[in-house]
Amino acid sequence: MLKNSLLVTVVLFVFSAFPMTAIASDWFDWRWYGAAGPCDEKCSVMVFGGKFVETAMTDIFLKGNVSPFNWEYGDSTFLGFAASRTVASFWEDRFTIEPELGFGKRFGEMDEYEVWAAVFLRYNYFPWNDYIYTTVAASTGLSYASAVSDIEKARAGNDRGDRLLHYLAPEITFALPQDKSREMVVRFHHRSGAYGAVSDADGGAQYLTVGLRLRF
């Protein structure tokens, strides 16, 4: 399973690096831009940080405990940096595909470093976007930590944890319609074994974060 996950991530990154001619149908309108050449407002960088969340992700997103005010938090914080690029869009640009590379540092009860490579699927066609431009996105990818903290070992369910885990980061962004180049980002930065797809570790470190993304 781990080999399959690694293969999918590598293929997505390699395939997105080659520019392709826009392919359009009457409704799907699939467009590949690739990762080479001028950015043309398809590149972005982001700085973000936040607080460790003890509440399980399954309780938050599958059991309806979606209010951050009801979550339990731990004594660890996170600061991260990420760079991404839009390599494709489809359905009249309602959806975009954005590979991302990131680097982060934990502080407090956990002090490890993290690096990740992921691909985000983003939706940006909300009826109120003329008033406040909003997008939502989620990722699939891999996250590697410099060490396995005691907290991650406890959350893993196997007393070991794993340095290499799946990276899942749902996020919502807000920007002014007249200047979409600057976004406020609220991201749930999460790593886990993905039900055995990447590791037999159940849970890992996760943070509720807020950040600023600049598109150029």
> Which residues contact residue 53 at a Cβ distance below 8 angstroms, ignoring those fewer than 6 apart?
60, 71, 72, 73, 74, 188, 206, 207, 208
- What residues pair up with 137 in beta bridges, in sequence order? 122, 171
pLDDT of 105 over the 90 cut: yes
- What residues pair up with 79 in beta bridges, in sequence order? 49, 105
Residue-wise pLDDT tens digits, 26-38: 567 899 998 888 9
Residue-wise pLDDT tens digits, 132-182: 999 999 999 999 999 999 999 999 999 999 999 999 999 999 999 999 999
**Range 11-39 average pLDDT:** 65
How far are the Cα atoms of 8, 78, 80, 122 from residue 36, in angstroms, in the given order? 21, 31, 25, 20
Q: Which residues of 81-115 are buried (b: 16+ CB within 10 A; e: fewer)?
A: ebebbbbbbbeeeebbbbbbebebbbeeebebebe
**Range 114-125 average pLDDT:** 99
207, two tokens: 């943070």
**Range 70-81 average pLDDT:** 98
The pLDDT mean for the chain works out to 90
95, two tokens: 């959806």
CA distance 216 to 211: 17
For the domain made up of 2-215, the CATH class stated in words is mainly beta
CA distance 173 to 185: 4
> Is the model more confident about 6 or about 42?
42
CB 28 within 8 A of CB 90: yes
Instruction: Give the per-residue pLDDT at 27.
Output: 63
